[in-house]
A = this chain, B = another copy of it.
Amino acid sequence: MSDGSMRRGMGWSTMADVAREAGVSLMTVSRVYKRPDSVAQRTREKVLETGRRLGFSPNSIAGNLASGRTSMIGIVVPSLRNSNNATSIQGMADYLRQASYHFMIANTGYSMEDEAAVVKAFMQRRPDGMVLTGTRHGHETIDLLKAAHMPVVETWETRGPFIDMATGFDNYEAARRITRHLVDRGYRTIGYIDYPAIGLDRYLERLRGLKDELGSAGLEPTSVVSPLDAGDLYQDASSFRGGALGLRKLQEASRDIDAVLCASDILAVGVLFECQRQGVRVPDQLAVAGFGDFEIAAEVPPGLTTIRTHGYQIGWNAAEMLVTRINQPRAEIPLRDVGYDLVVRGSS
């Protein structure tokens, strides 16, 4: 910051100030900060030195307006507290950072109306791309994004239709896989604790996978409970308790359950805790399995059998696909399936 360079609202010096001080044209200053190589070294150094002296910081808002590009991504997630999301957000953050993009982020609280509102609000800032969680969205949201030709990546699922691009894994197959594991291990009466949020496709897919797999094994359909409860949903963090609650519900529903599959590791760990309190031995009296392979799954005794998802990779992919498409608007970018892994531990 300096002398006579104060302007209106802010106290920033501008390119014009630097240009005048350095005795070059506005455009030269612009070039120095945007594509330094396109300016002669002597000129560049003079300009940079002047810029430093004036405390100049390029105003990207102005640049955005002039160029029509913002280098900004909008990210929409159901919750900011969900550690699953956190991992994929970190993946996006890491990719975007090295690509010189920033991102704004908002949560919808699992509500489609809120999602629509967020997307609409984000659009006014003209992001270069947008990342959504899941594949189920309101018509308004979809129409808006499509009409604007906004590059969009939907995450965590691989079953379309998609607005534009997608990366994730097959929740249905993953659920079948871990169910098959339980069946192979000899468990016959498998309870399911659903995610405490309604209507998310990826959780519906998991449940469907479980049911189909049990069906093809000739087993009775499972007993399904959900610890759904407004408080839980809003807090989102409170899912250990949800798992404990779910186990109790299952126990009420039928006494002879020998395994419990949970829609997430957090729920499953809650089940393990409840078993410990009840003196139920895992896996002898009850097997437990989760979904996600969060860090705790490996650490909680006796180790939680689960499906490892690749959240970080999903985030990284999403960002990479977006940036690719931004730079090559006509590129056809196919679905990226990051897969999943069955991880067997002591709980089964």
Task: State A103–B60 Cα separation when bound (angstroms).
Answer: 16
Give complex CA distance A104, B107 in Å.
13
Contact among B86, B102, B107, B301 with A80 in the assembled complex (CB-CB below 8 Å): B86
Q: Can you name the residue of chain B whose Cβ is closest to the Cβ of A10? A: B68
Contact A90 B81 (CB under 8 A): yes
Tell yes or no: A40 within 8 A of B by CB: no
Q: Which residues 63-97 in A have Cβ within 8 Å of B in the complex?
A: 64-65, 67-70, 72, 79-81, 83, 86-87, 89-90, 93, 97
User: Which single member of B87, B97, B102, B125 contacts A61 (CB below 8 Å)?
Assistant: B125
A339 surroundings in chain B (CB, below 8 A): none
A1 B86 Cβ-Cβ under 8 A: no
Query: What number of A residues sit within 8 Å (CB to CB) of B?
Result: 65
Given contacts A87-B81, A122-B102, A124-B58, contact A148 B93 (CB under 8 A): no
Is A244 close to B, CB under 8 A? yes
Q: Which residue of B lies closest to A243 (CB)?
A: B299
Interface string of A33-75 (1 = CB under 8 A from B): 0000000000000000000000101111110110111101000
Using known A-B contacts A11-B149, A125-B60, determine if residue A80 contacts B89 with beta carbons closer than 8 Å. yes
**Given known A1-B147, A11-B149, A125-B60, contact A81–B72 (CB-CB < 8 A):** no
Q: Is the CB of B295 within 8 A of A273?
A: no
Q: Which residues of B contact A237 (CB under 8 A)?
A: 83, 87, 294-295
Most buried by B among A57, A83, A270: A57
**Are B83 and A81 within 8 A (Cβ)?**
yes
Whether, in the assembled complex, A161 has its beta carbon less than 8 Å from a beta carbon of chain B, the answer is no
* Residue in chain B with minimal CB distance to A8: B68
CA distance A235 to B94 in the complex (A): 12
Annotate A286-300 by CB proximity to B: 1 below 8 A, 0 otherwise.
000000001110111
Q: A interface vs B, CB < 8 Å? A: 1, 8-12, 55, 57-62, 64-65, 67-70, 72, 79-81, 83, 86-87, 89-90, 93, 97, 102-107, 120-126, 147-149, 235, 237-241, 244, 269-270, 273, 276-277, 294-296, 298-301
